Structure 1
Amino acid sequence: MITRLLFISILTMTVTLLSAQGTKIPLYVGTYTSDKGSKGIYEFEFDTQTGDAKLIRETETPSPSFIDRSSRFLIAANELTDGNQSISSFAITDNGLKFINKVGTGGTAPCHIVMDKERKFAVASNYLGGALDLFSLADNGEILSKEDTKTYNGSSVDKKRQEASHIHSTFIGPDKLLYVSDLGADKIYVLDVVKDKDGKLQFKEVNTLTSKLGGGPRHIAFHPNGKYLYSLLEMTGDIEVFKKVGKSWKSQQVISMRKEGFDGKSGAADLKLSSDGKFLYSTDRVDANTITVFSVARNGALKQIQVSSVFGKGPRNFNFSPDERFVLVANQLTDEIVLFNRDKKSGLLSDSGKRIKAFTPVCILF
């Protein structure tokens, strides 16, 4: 009897220990670098149960303002304008990130990077120069070559900020097509990636969406059912909802993320949908410094249900923790990541009181 109780006690302790270890996961933060601040990519150990984060190491690389990763390697967009702009690849090892190689981009200020699901290619969006770059990847994460560059020459109604194409991001839709936001032209380009007769990867134009004029599309989120596309309009602080009709998309709603009565300037930064498709979240910078929560109706329409302070300035990128219990907001101008508790049933956020110190954080990735 005593032996049996001892066995059960040891088994319980082992399960508890393994469970506790399983709550600790890597958290990577991309930044803007400087002599007085960040040197590159911060790597934290994040506790998914408590929301606590411990800095493990910092990997040097210039201004990795956006990052994407697989289980084996990480790709960073080095957002520079001095001729050294590039994308860099790092192996993910037990001892941190290990540099593999880097390749220059076809434009300047590459501000977004994304890989396809199979990790065979990466697409870099260059804010300056109107260039969209396509890179092939090896299985180990090495950037093999720049396969194609597509250059856009658009403009729109705001003569100061939309004097030329500004490619801000590329997201891959449920249909596996690329959705490219051009802030300067108020366009969303839809592209496919195909191989030419020699096996080289190429962009292929499929469609073009026109967004609200003067809005400046920045980022995109897709509903899990694939029927709705949400476009974040940086310049007006709006979200435009598109519904899929056949093989095309039709605009069906434009809704503000701003609090009623707010008359300051907006700089909408990021948006994401909860995995169940019931709630959408978006951040707004400049004068607002807020995160907004929308409920999502069955027809894809949005309804604003909460506008909360981010308790800092310059909320850039944000992300859910893997179980979506927390929302982490990167406040670029106050050098801090703020953690919100998230109620999965109501979608509403509340301040957890937890903060993660990081210099100029602009991208959060689990």
Structure 2
Amino acid sequence: MFYSQHIQAQQIPLYIGTYTQKNESKGIYTYSFNTKTGDATLLSETETSSPSFLARHKNILLAANELTDGNQSVSAFRIEDGKLNFINKLPTTGSAPCHVIIDKKGKYAVVSNYLGGALDLYAIDANGHINQNDHKKYSGSSVDTKRQEAPHIHSAFQGPDGNIYVSDLGTDLIHVLAVKLEDGKYKFNEIETIQTPKGAGPRHIAFHPNKKYFYALMEMSADVVVYEKTGNSWKQKQVINMNAEGFSGKDGAADVKISKDGKYLYASNRVDANTISTFAVQKDGSLNKIQVQSVLGKGPRNFNFSPDQNFVLVGNQLSNEVVIFKRDKKTGSLSDSGKRIQAFKPVCLIF
């Protein structure tokens, strides 16, 4: 009995969001992932249009349907017996919704729209139904007239302080908002705006577990910008590039995550680089680049740790494959496990 329970505990669900295309991908793919071997077995397929980002809280999963044809939306599912059962779907107020989070208590969701400058706020009821509660519409631009002609909201992450940190690639700003329950509805309340380097294009962020630092990934410059909490505000501490020495190609930095112990930070870069970089986090929160690893494919849009952090799974969008790296917890370094998951345009991986 102990043996069978032990084996069962090694198998955990993995959800992969894709860009859908007829005869290629239907939507969300649920796998059983073996935390000991790194093997993955397909359990089910869920039809939903271009679920480019996923968020999960207990048995509720949300998907941002990244469309631009008027059907852009956020979809809610209930996880039951290895399958996703549809609950409801609502439109977003912007276009190309590319990111969704669920707050730590599972009470609300925030959806970022890459087009239209819109940020959407949905309440989640006890049954997993989503209801639109509030939205914000941003304006502005920055120095790159081609890519920063208007706001491009790329992500929203909940910080350890409970606030929502919104990265706007189009204006080089990170907006900090509180979410409050007022008269039975959740509302946005902007409390701070953080400037990032001009022309850098903030995309995603990661918070240090000690709550003193956060790391903002710049898509256009492939820099990681370190911010330190000083009093009640955040101050820029360091800017470090993620590329190998001598790299001169085009950048498209995509994702950034920090290990649970706060010792190592990882960041992916697409276009000509196709790498995932490892940084050692110093005691003062600053970064030291220690490895630039090929992702062994093209277009590493999203990556994630396995829950035990022994593996890093990289979704290579343009080579239609998830590459699974072994992770050395002591040194932070990544090495090829030899394991792969074949998937059409994999762009989000969550456990």
TM-score interval w.r.t. the shorter chain?
Answer: over 0.9
Distance in 1 separating the partners of 2:38 and 2:58? 22
Distance in 2 separating the partners of 1:133 and 1:18? 42
- 2:237 aligned residue: 252
Distance in 2 separating the partners of 1:154 and 1:40? 33
Percent pairwise identity:
61
Cα distance, 1:199 vs structure 2 = 2.5
Matched, 1:309 2:294: yes
1:235 to 220, 226, 234: 220
Structure 1: tracts of 5 or more residues without a match? 1-13
Which secondary structure does the structure 1 equivalent of 2:8 belong to?
helix
Alignment of 1:3-22 (within 5 A): 14-22=1-9
- 1:327 aligned residue: 312
Which secondary structure does the structure 2 equivalent of 1:206 belong to?
strand
- 1:94 aligned residue: 81
| 1:283-335 Cα deviation digits (max 9, x unpaired) | 00000000000000010000100001000000011000010000000000011
Cα distance, 1:95 vs structure 2 = 4.9
How many residues align? The count is: 351
- 1:75 aligned residue: 62
| 1:97-147 Cα deviation digits (max 9, x unpaired) | 00000000010000000011111110000000000000011112111x211
| 1:241-268 Cα deviation digits (max 9, x unpaired) | 0000011000010000011000000100
Matched, 1:273 2:273: no
Matched, 1:59 2:46: yes
Distance in 2 separating the partners of 1:270 and 1:277? 17
Distance in 2 separating the partners of 1:175 and 1:348? 30
With normalisation by structure 2, the TM-score equals 0.99
Cα distance, 1:65 vs structure 2 = 0.2
Residue identity matched to 2:94: G
Structure 2: tracts of 5 or more residues without a match? none
With normalisation by structure 1, the TM-score equals 0.95
1:148 to 134, 149, 154: 134
Distance in 1 separating the partners of 2:337 and 2:82? 31
Residue identity matched to 2:47: E
1:175 to 161, 167, 170: 161
Distance in 2 separating the partners of 1:136 and 1:246? 32
- 2:147 aligned residue: 161
Which secondary structure does the structure 2 equivalent of 1:103 belong to?
strand
Distance in 2 separating the partners of 1:324 and 1:72? 22
- 2:117 aligned residue: 130
Native 8 Å contact 1:72 1:140 kept in 2: no
| 1:128-187 Cα deviation digits (max 9, x unpaired) | 0000000011112111x2111100002101000000000000000000000000000000
Alignment RMSD: 0.7
